Amino acid sequence: MLTKRSWVVLLGGLNLLLAALLVAGMVQLPSARAQAVRAGDLVTVTARGAGRNYDVLYVLDVPQKKLFALYPGNPQTRQLVATQPRDLDKDFGS
pLDDT in tens, 7-55: 999 999 999 999 998 888 777 666 666 665 566 688 888 888 778 788 8
- What is the pLDDT, as a whole number, of residue 74? 78
In this structure, the answer to whether residues 22 and 62 fall within a common structural domain is no
88 lies in a domain?
Answer: yes
In this structure, the answer to whether residues 53 and 87 fall within a common structural domain is yes
Range of the domain at 24: 1-29
In this structure, the answer to whether residues 54 and 22 fall within a common structural domain is no
In this structure, the answer to whether residues 49 and 9 fall within a common structural domain is no
- What is the pLDDT, as a whole number, of residue 12? 95
- What is the pLDDT, as a whole number, of residue 50? 78
The total of structural domains in the chain comes to 2
Angle at 34 between CA 33 and CA 38, to 5 degrees: 150
Cβ-based neighbours of 4, under 8 Å, separated by 6 or more? none
More confident residue, 78 or 65: 65
- Report pLDDT digits (tens) over 66-77: 999 988 887 777
In this structure, the answer to whether residues 1 and 24 fall within a common structural domain is yes
- What is the pLDDT, as a whole number, of residue 78? 78
The dihedrals phi and psi of 60, each to the nearest 5 degrees, come to -100, 120
